[in-house]
Amino acid sequence: MSNSFWKEKRVLVTGCNGFLGSWLTAGLVEAQSDVVGIIRDWVPHSLLAQLGLRNRMTIVNGDVCDYELMERVLAEYEIEIIFHLAAQTIVGIANISPLSTFETNIKGTWVLLEAARRNTTVKGIIVASSDKAYGAQEKLPYQENAPLMARHPYDVSKSCADMIARAYAHSYGTPAVVTRFSNLYGGGDLNWNRIVPGTIRSIVQGNQPVIRSDGSPKRDYLYVEDAVSGYMTLGEHIGDEDLHGLAFNFGMDQPVTALQMVNTICHISGQSNLKPIILNQAKNEIPDQYLASSRAHKKLGWHPEYSLEDGLVRTMAWYSDFLALSQ
């Protein structure tokens, strides 16, 4: 990554107080970007709050589905690059309440893209899709040219956002690119029903970790600081018109099962004696999902820096400190 590229760059991050959004905002602030963040609900325990970033950026309170707000923000702050991360990201919530997921993930995307299309200062838009957008595929790992075959609410919402972003690029010349990341983990994710934070919290509290599935689903896990480097590296290449309308996979290319992931966390924590409770209750989830990241390697020169074990050690340290302070 090039800090000189980002210095004084006017950047908008939607979803800046989410897990990835907080880490990305921290990276941009560290690179001396002029960061504007959109926040709908203030979460006092978010990583953004813990890092004290509120005083080092501009915060706009509002909803990405509000077109007039988005147009005003882009114009008044003369935004050059947009990272669109705002989304409802919990699969279980999407299954229970799909409308809020569709509203934020789909409408929020086209509202932002339309506002950006009408604003001449915007030079690049990076839209967060997901490996879930591919749906269940017979051929693995996922390649970017595979059809998007999502069937369940969260997965469909990401497929729609993904296709809308690329439609704007191909139809209107909007400088938009799409990211499809594998499962992200790292300090600051307070969604305890996710496998990494939930397992670590159980271990720190001396409880058996819980696996919602039967333990066999296979996923690729990427440490969040590698995800930030992926976003910022892609942002540095956003002026390359050949990239507009493309999607990029980002992952480790080393899938593991849910049971292997939990056992690895237990081993790193020195608690291999804690055997997981397997509920086998997961619904509307794809059995195996993992990516091929060769396009990002070749076109962007991006490669992950942290192994799974290295990333988990750093993650365990963060949660150990956080949970100790919370007691």
Q: What is the mean predicted confidence (pLDDT) over 312-325? A: 92
Strand partners, 161: none
Sheet holding 34-39, edge to edge: 58-61, 34-39, 10-14, 81-84, 124-128, 176-181, 247-250
Residue 102: helix, strand or coil by DSSP?
helix
Q: Given this model, what pLDDT does residue 92 score?
A: 77
- Residue type present at position 117: R
Q: What is the pLDDT of residues 220-231, one digit of tens each?
A: 999 999 999 999
In the set 142, 154, 168, 223, the catalytic residue is 154
- In whole angstroms, give the CA distance from residue 296 to residue 224: 16
pTM of the model: 0.94
Q: Given this model, what pLDDT does residue 273 score?
A: 84
Q: What is the pLDDT of residues 14-31, one digit of tens each?
A: 999 999 999 999 999 999
Q: Is 154 marked active-site?
A: yes
- In whole angstroms, give the CA distance from residue 48 to residue 147: 35
Buried b (16+ CB within 10 A) or exposed e, 23-38: bbbbbbbebebbbbbb
Q: What is the pLDDT of residues 106-154, one digit of tens each?
A: 999 999 999 999 999 999 999 999 999 999 888 999 999 999 999 999 9
Predicted confidence (pLDDT) at residue 326 exceeds the cutoff of 80: no
Least confident of 15-29, 273-287, 288-302, 307-321: 273-287
Which residues, at least 6 apart from 101, have a Cβ–Cβ distance to it below 8 Å? 88, 93, 94, 153, 154, 157
At which residue do the structure tokens 């081993």 appear? Answer: 267
> Cis link prior to 175 (omega < 30° from 0)?
no
| CATH number of the 3-182+224-253+289-305 domain | 3.40.50.720
For the chain, the domains span: 3-182+224-253+289-305
The share of the chain scoring above pLDDT 90, in percent, equals: 77
Q: Given this model, what pLDDT does residue 199 score?
A: 95
